[in-house]
């Protein structure tokens, strides 16, 4: 756990950290590590009513730097296939088996997914691109060992 006292800054502190450039992934299959999980509520929309949601953050390590991608899993029965796909991807579920979701084991899990770029329009009316997960790939230990894969 991070000690927040070490994170606090004073008005006259020296600063150095510039942050990292945003890494836009070319379309393809990438390994990732789950770095965060948050419980929340989806407010509802045209196709899905208000329901619980899991916001997942994953990290993809590339030669260009670290790409961070956030996505939501809506806890709604018509979208159960996507939740199952995610849990198969991180090795907690096998295809066709029934599973009680164990969210406490999600952070630190490794998986693989097909990433695409998604365009959006920002508040200034500019077209921008972001990383998006197109589909999860069922867990296979060979994706992670040996560690000399070309990505």
* Residues composing the chain: 151
How far, in Å, are 7, 82, 106, 116 from residue 88 at the CA level?
36, 10, 12, 20
Short-list 85, 75, 6, 64, CA closest to 40? 75
Short-list 107, 113, 110, CA closest to 35? 107
125: its two tokens: 């009316």
Q: Domain residues for 126?
A: 31-143
Residue 90 belongs to some domain of the structure: yes
Question: Based on the structure, what is the number of domains in the chain?
Answer: 1
Residue 75 belongs to some domain of the structure: yes
Residue 43 belongs to some domain of the structure: yes
Residue 16 belongs to some domain of the structure: no
CA angle 103, 65, 137 (to 5 degrees): 45
pLDDT of residue 32: 97
User: What pTM value is reported for the model?
Assistant: 0.81
Residue 22 belongs to some domain of the structure: no
pLDDT of residue 7: 78
Residue 126: burial class (beta carbons within 10 Å; 0-12, 13-18, 19+): exposed
The CA distance from 35 to 110, in Å, is: 10
Residue 18 belongs to some domain of the structure: no
The total of other beta-carbon atoms located within 10 Å of residue 21's CB is: 9
Mean pLDDT per 10-residue section of the chain, whose length is 151 residues: 70 79 93 97 96 98 94 97 97 95 96 96 94 96 67 46
pLDDT of residue 101: 96
Residue 135 belongs to some domain of the structure: yes
Residue 118 belongs to some domain of the structure: yes
């Amino acid at each position: 756990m991070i000690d927040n006292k070490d994170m606090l800054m004073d008005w006259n502190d020296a600063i150095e950290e510039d942050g990292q450039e945003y890494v836009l992934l070319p379309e393809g299959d990438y390994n990732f590590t789950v770095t965060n999980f948050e419980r929340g509520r989806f407010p509802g929309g045209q196709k899905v009513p208000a329901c619980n949601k899991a916001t997942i953050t994953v990290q993809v390590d590339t030669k260009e730097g670290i790409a961070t991608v956030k996505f939501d899993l809506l806890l709604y029965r018509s979208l159960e296939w996507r939740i199952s796909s995610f849990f198969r991807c991180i090795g907690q579920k096998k295809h066709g088996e029934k599973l009680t979701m164990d969210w406490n084991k999600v952070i630190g899990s490794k998986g693989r997914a097909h990433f695409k770029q998604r365009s959006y329009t920002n508040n200034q009316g500019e077209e921008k691109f972001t990383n998006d997960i197109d589909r999860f790939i069922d867990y296979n230990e060979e994706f992670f060992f040996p560690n000399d894969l070309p990505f």
